[in-house]
Structure 1
Amino acid sequence: IYFGAKLHRPKIIAIGCLLMSFGTFLIAMPHFIIGRYKIETSIRPSVNSTNNFSPCPASSLDSSRAGCERESSVSMWIYVLLGNILRGIGETPVQPLGISYIDDYAQSENAALYIGCVQTISIIGPVFGYLLGSLCAKIYVDIGYVDMETVTITPADARWVGAWWLGYLIAGAITLMSAVPFWFLPKSLPVISALNIPLKQKFGSTHGEIHSFSKCPHAEFVPTLKSLLGNPVFTIYLCVTIIQFNSLIGMVTYKPKYIEQHYGQSASKANFLMGMINIPAVAFGMFSGGVVMKKYKLGIMGAAKFAFGTSLLGYFLSLLFFVLGCENSKVAGITVSYTGAGGLSYQEGSLFSDCNSGCLCSRREWDPVCGENGITYVSPCLAGCTFSTGSGRNTVFDSCRCVAVANTQPGNLTATLGQCPRRDSCDKVFPYFLALSVLSSFIISLGGTPGFMLLVRCIKPELKSLALGIHTLATRTLAGIPAPIYFGAIIDTTCLKWGYKMCGGRGACRIYNTSSYRIVYLGLTLGLRTVSFFFCILGFSVLKRHIKMEEKNALTNGNTELELLRKEENSSIHCEQFILALDCNHDRETRL
């Protein structure tokens, strides 16, 4: 970034787009190399038979280990790692060089609005990304390769895997096309100096224009970096944004899963809601912040106070998420007992009961069925079902002994595929969650553009590109990489039932303790933001000292600046007289 600021910035951005495109295509490669996805299920699809099989086996069901050696020998994660590395390298110059390019060639009073527009447009990408993710999540991962009639699960099932690879192919193609316009932008744009304005207005453009470009003095990289990191305002701002980005990235990464697990929504619907409701609120908030800063002409301190105030207000609103919770799903042997009583402390032995003791059921399976009593059972076998009718998704299990244990009213002892839906009370809470999410996101994002302009204005102009590059690098490496890892690790501590891989080992979590999930997820998000506020308070004191020092220097150098202005006015007058003399001589020579 430091050296890129001295080169052709638009072309460097174009090269970055090409790298991002190649990396995105590389991430999708494992789908075309590995085999087909095998669903963890005990259902045996049959078309010609109405009595498929007995869910209550006479012998233990062990997962087949065929193909384990092939699976372990192929490291598909290398493609994903290399692809993300290339995407990270290509993405690095886009924001710092692009923002500095705009700020260098825009009038100071319009720079905030332009940068706000750019940041707002950058939000449109995630909007389409979430919508594309919602579409791909509805499509089965092996679409076109398998008969969908044999797939016994739906997108609402925890075992469903969508066509994740399709989104990467589309995103890679779009990124490749975006490199074209950047390649044809000029290295620099014309800037009209204060000296040239009266001449152009008086004489037009016949005598040409006098352009002024800011030239960065030659300096070594290490001293320049020391000078930048020696700026206390920039250092504290960097600490604040790193902590807040940890909170933001962790929250955004796991919010669809939170909606899915806590409110019983499908992954497709969760992505759709994030793209259509939450992200546009963020975009509108960032744009509105730029408009407010331009309209009221906020200075550095005004921008800092505005950003802090909106962040604090959004913080208090986010506390209301703790009360918008839902109860755990009723899963026999995990969250409730087989009699329907709650308060169960889950252990592997609690999956077994007298009602399924006659069946040799596997405790590792996750093939949920919904009983007529409204309780979900981990598998048809653990529900004590002895017969089944139908095939595929239309399979119905009959004579389920465990359903009878918790069935307070006489009814059919049947169970159907899939988990039981959430209660109506949870469905009523979900719209309030969405409304509060939109409102808090809008208010917090109002301070995004003023806060970013604080970064641009608190450093020397020649250090602008390097500062933005360091800021982007720090937030990506110290927030973008670790936040999803430790957020995921802490959230996994609330898992109640893990899946198992075909060749052994723990797989994905099938069901979480929603109450613990809510406390851990929201507590970690708001806890990080609480820590950032202490740095903000320290930053205000440092910023006040910085502004007083600047004002003192301005008063000290006032006489010098007035003298320079007088010299500039005199040089302007002499320049006009010189041009008029040239015109007179030219007219005299023409007449002769």
Structure 2
Amino acid sequence: MTVDGNPDRLIEPRPMENSGCNQKTPQTKCCSPTLKIFIGLLAFCYFTKSLTGAYTKSTITQIERRFEIPSSIVGIIDGSFEMGNLLVITAVSYFGAKFHRPKIIGAGVLLMGVGTLLMALPHFIMSRYKYDTAAAHTNDADNFTVSSTCSSDNQNTVQQLVSGCLKGEAESSPTWVIVLFGNILRGIGEASIGPLGMSFIDDYAHPENSAFYIGCLHTLGVIGPIFGYSLGSLCASLYVDIGLVNQESMTITPQDSRWVGAWWLGYVVTGLLTILAALPLWFLPRALPETPQASKLDHPSNQHKHTLSITEIAKDFGPSLKRLLTNGIYLLYLVSSVLAFNTFTIFITYTPKYLEHQFGQSASKTNFLIGVTSIPAVALGMFLSGWIMKRFKLSLLGSARLMFFSSVTALVCTIPYFALSCENIDVAGVTVPYQGSIEGQDIRRGLLTSCNADCGCPDFQWDPVCGQNGVTYISPCHAGCNSTRGAGQHMTFHGCTCIQSWGLTSGNSSAVLGQCSRESSSCTKMFYIYLALQSLTFFVYCLGTVPFFLFSLRIVDPALKSLSVGVFLLVLRVFGGIPAPICFGALIDLTCLKWGQKKCGGTGACRIYDIETFRYLFLGLVSSLQTISYTLLWIVTAQIKRKVQNDKQISKDKELQHPVLCDSE
């Protein structure tokens, strides 16, 4: 974009502001072929960006299990995207608007692709994934060597593990840092897409069409999560070391809390696609001289204005930022948006994890259903939002009212969520006591009782089996099982003394691999009702999406548009995108009932949560933040209404003071 002819103000031209479609100027167009190409390429960038973002959200539990880290660390990885974004968002938004915007966007998208590929790197430098199992141990030929699940040999196994750690056979270094760094690069690259892309369209599109184009842009971008969650579903159904392990010899299924899907595969696919999206942007022109006003910028007498230094441009940054931050309505809108963005970040980050644990669904099924139910509702809501803005030509006040109506209606739709829940599965010593013993609150005490006291069961084991009494035991050892039959996923355990203590006969005291399923009919029904309500909520809320994005453009001086969007996105990331997943991840960790443990010591990933506490924490926090945010939005709407009334009164007073001028016109 060329710099305007007025070096004192450094305001970008608005070629299309004063040239509508109904004018007879031959060079005037509502949307030139070049602008259409730019919108198409930018939409593809939005697609790849949202594709990778949705895929990242879908791999949260997979990354947590693969690297044996708690939810708080996963929250840091998720928030690292925002950390990288805020490092450059303000500078890119302000300085980038003065130079070649398509090329800057292209460079940012290229950096996003590199960062995405980097996120898959740990898989190729780590050893194969090995999950703990007390049922069997495998060698390189995938042959099972079955040992007694209830014997003193278990203590010898623990001693061997400790001895191995002391000899230096420790677990690998925290390679999850590479995933974090790659996500930071993604955030840095993404900083140019939003502010520079929207301001470029707003500069060269007709004002009445700008909202519609941006609405279409975000609608096409929302298609990305459909493919992102679908890709996440496919990769979650594939074992992490795909092609290197005999699937028939495995003792876990995708429903198991130790299962890790091929989380790395999606990052390779999305990274290559993102790099492909970046290349065409480098061949677009710096500006679109479609009108006589814009064409004058290329006149030789104005060429010296194109070579302004960064120092000269930076002189106006301080005063521009001061003008922006002294806008009361803008500041109040920022606070409301931060709270709303906290809600959105928590919801979109932890919904897959919530559904997995609340309704007992696999990651693959959860990701697929989110992609095919909720995301189309979001796309339709965004499209209708842009259409409503264009069809009814909503003013700033009308936009604020649309935002407030859609937000409050969406909040009402979330109330039934509280009634949709399943109970915790019965896990002996964790959620229910062993038969005949008192229920202990301390996990370490509750896991051992008289029926398995002589088995020497190590605390870190998590190899759940389902007994014939309908109770889950965290391992065959903790169930007191004395013998095994079969191999792989068909292995069964017999002579389980803890199951006999429930009053079952010795012939009925067997167990099978895996957790016991919940009372499926009612729980599964609630799961589908929840998805339907969630889709409705997303649709209603997204009716206010386009006003939400355009607000930062319309409530400030036209010269501050790019800076306004940049500061807006910066504040959202600093106070919403970064702390929300980290803090809420730490709160989720407080609801964990049984932690996994690393072989050489240290806390691993959580195996089972108190889902009732998880539910009230998740839904209660989201609803509270929404309520406060929408209250502030109501105040913003009231202030805009008051400002509009004052402006009308001032205009009427001027007409009364100059009646002759009005009559002559």
TM-score (ref. length: structure 2): 0.77
Deviation, structure 1 residue 249: 0.7
1:500 has 2:597 as partner: yes
Measure, in 2, the Cα distance between the counterparts of 1:458 and 1:561.
29
1:109 has 2:205 as partner: no
Q: 1:416 aligns with which of 498, 505, 512?
A: 512
Partner of 2:624: 527
Partner of 2:223: 124
Equivalent AA in structure 1 for residue 277 of structure 2: S
Q: 1:149 aligns with which of 227, 232, 248?
A: 248
Measure, in 2, the Cα distance between the counterparts of 1:111 and 1:17.
23
1:328 has 2:424 as partner: yes
Equivalent AA in structure 2 for residue 3 of structure 1: F
1:140 has 2:236 as partner: no
Return closer, same or farther for 1:560/1:409 CA change in 2, 3 Å cut-off. farther
Whether the 8 Å contact between 2:468 and 2:511 is mirrored in structure 1 is: yes
Q: 2:581 aligns with which of 481, 484, 499?
A: 484
1:57 has 2:154 as partner: no
Whether the 8 Å contact between 1:332 and 1:340 is mirrored in structure 2 is: no
Return closer, same or farther for 1:67/1:151 CA change in 2, 3 Å cut-off. farther
Return closer, same or farther for 1:86/1:109 CA change in 2, 3 Å cut-off. same
Partner of 1:44: 136
Partner of 1:210: none
Measure, in 2, the Cα distance between the counterparts of 1:456 and 1:171.
31
Q: Is the deviation greater in 455-464 or in 337-346?
A: 337-346
Equivalent AA in structure 1 for residue 100 of structure 2: H
Deviation, structure 1 residue 343: 7.5
Deviation, structure 1 residue 454: 2.4
Q: 2:360 aligns with which of 253, 260, 264?
A: 264
Measure, in 1, the Cα distance between the counterparts of 2:583 and 2:659.
57
Partner of 1:234: 330
Q: 1:300 aligns with which of 389, 396, 407?
A: 396
Identity %, equivalent residues:
46
Deviation, structure 1 residue 447: 1.0
Q: 2:268 aligns with which of 169, 177, 181?
A: 169
Partner of 2:456: 360
Return closer, same or farther for 1:245/1:548 CA change in 2, 3 Å cut-off. same
Q: 2:641 aligns with which of 544, 547, 553?
A: 544
Return closer, same or farther for 1:401/1:228 CA change in 2, 3 Å cut-off. same
Whether the 8 Å contact between 2:429 and 2:439 is mirrored in structure 1 is: no
Equivalent AA in structure 2 for residue 30 of structure 1: P
Equivalent AA in structure 2 for residue 337 of structure 1: P
Deviation, structure 1 residue 441: 1.1
Partner of 1:186: 285
Measure, in 1, the Cα distance between the counterparts of 2:224 and 2:350.
18
Measure, in 2, the Cα distance between the counterparts of 1:530 and 1:281.
23
Equivalent AA in structure 2 for residue 129 of structure 1: G
Q: Is the deviation greater in 34-43 or in 319-328?
A: 34-43
Deviation, structure 1 residue 279: 1.5
Partner of 1:515: 612
Partner of 1:590: none
Whether the 8 Å contact between 1:240 and 1:532 is mirrored in structure 2 is: yes
Equivalent AA in structure 2 for residue 145 of structure 1: L
5+ long unaligned stretches in structure 2: 1-92, 296-305
Measure, in 2, the Cα distance between the counterparts of 1:426 and 1:7.
56
Whether the 8 Å contact between 1:308 and 1:536 is mirrored in structure 2 is: yes
Return closer, same or farther for 1:378/1:562 CA change in 2, 3 Å cut-off. farther
Partner of 1:435: 532
Partner of 1:589: none
Whether the 8 Å contact between 1:54 and 1:387 is mirrored in structure 2 is: yes
Measure, in 2, the Cα distance between the counterparts of 1:561 and 1:111.
35
Measure, in 2, the Cα distance between the counterparts of 1:464 and 1:138.
45
Whether the 8 Å contact between 1:51 and 1:390 is mirrored in structure 2 is: no
Measure, in 2, the Cα distance between the counterparts of 1:562 and 1:20.
60
Whether the 8 Å contact between 1:335 and 1:344 is mirrored in structure 2 is: no
Measure, in 1, the Cα distance between the counterparts of 2:351 and 2:435.
33
Partner secondary structure for residue 497 of structure 1? strand
Measure, in 2, the Cα distance between the counterparts of 1:180 and 1:562.
59
Partner of 1:317: 413
Partner secondary structure for residue 161 of structure 2? coil
Whether the 8 Å contact between 2:126 and 2:172 is mirrored in structure 1 is: no
Partner of 1:401: 497
Whether the 8 Å contact between 1:57 and 1:360 is mirrored in structure 2 is: yes
List per-residue Cα deviations over 1:56-105 (Å, max 9, x = no partner).
02242417143674656734244223212211110001011111111111
The total of aligned residue pairs comes to 550
Return closer, same or farther for 1:524/1:462 CA change in 2, 3 Å cut-off. same
Deviation, structure 1 residue 132: 1.1
Partner secondary structure for residue 380 of structure 2? helix
Measure, in 1, the Cα distance between the counterparts of 2:321 and 2:503.
71
Q: 1:460 aligns with which of 557, 563, 579?
A: 557
Measure, in 1, the Cα distance between the counterparts of 2:334 and 2:144.
66
Deviation, structure 1 residue 34: 1.9
Q: Is the deviation greater in 516-525 or in 534-543?
A: 534-543
Whether the 8 Å contact between 2:403 and 2:545 is mirrored in structure 1 is: yes
Partner secondary structure for residue 496 of structure 1? strand
Measure, in 2, the Cα distance between the counterparts of 1:519 and 1:163.
32
Measure, in 1, the Cα distance between the counterparts of 2:527 and 2:503.
29
1:390 has 2:486 as partner: yes
Measure, in 2, the Cα distance between the counterparts of 1:195 and 1:359.
83
Q: 1:86 aligns with which of 175, 182, 185?
A: 185
Return closer, same or farther for 1:271/1:248 CA change in 2, 3 Å cut-off. same
Deviation, structure 1 residue 486: 0.7
Aligned-residue CA RMSD (Å)? 3.1
Measure, in 1, the Cα distance between the counterparts of 2:143 and 2:317.
75
Q: 2:125 aligns with which of 21, 33, 38?
A: 33
Measure, in 2, the Cα distance between the counterparts of 1:419 and 1:185.
57
Equivalent AA in structure 2 for residue 405 of structure 1: S
Partner secondary structure for residue 330 of structure 1? coil
Equivalent AA in structure 2 for residue 156 of structure 1: Q
Whether the 8 Å contact between 2:136 and 2:144 is mirrored in structure 1 is: no
Whether the 8 Å contact between 1:43 and 1:392 is mirrored in structure 2 is: no
List per-residue Cα deviations over 1:385-407 (Å, max 9, x = no partner).
10001112221101112122225
Measure, in 2, the Cα distance between the counterparts of 1:495 and 1:399.
31
Return closer, same or farther for 1:402/1:466 CA change in 2, 3 Å cut-off. same
Equivalent AA in structure 1 for residue 108 of structure 2: G
Q: 2:548 aligns with which of 451, 460, 474?
A: 451
Measure, in 2, the Cα distance between the counterparts of 1:434 and 1:165.
27
Return closer, same or farther for 1:164/1:51 CA change in 2, 3 Å cut-off. closer
Whether the 8 Å contact between 1:373 and 1:407 is mirrored in structure 2 is: no
Correspondence list, 1:238-253, <5 A: 238-253=334-349
Partner secondary structure for residue 512 of structure 2? strand
Return closer, same or farther for 1:445/1:71 CA change in 2, 3 Å cut-off. farther
Partner secondary structure for residue 355 of structure 1? coil
Whether the 8 Å contact between 1:130 and 1:272 is mirrored in structure 2 is: yes
Partner secondary structure for residue 604 of structure 2? strand
1:372 has 2:435 as partner: no
1:23 has 2:115 as partner: yes
Return closer, same or farther for 1:471/1:561 CA change in 2, 3 Å cut-off. farther
Measure, in 2, the Cα distance between the counterparts of 1:70 and 1:119.
50
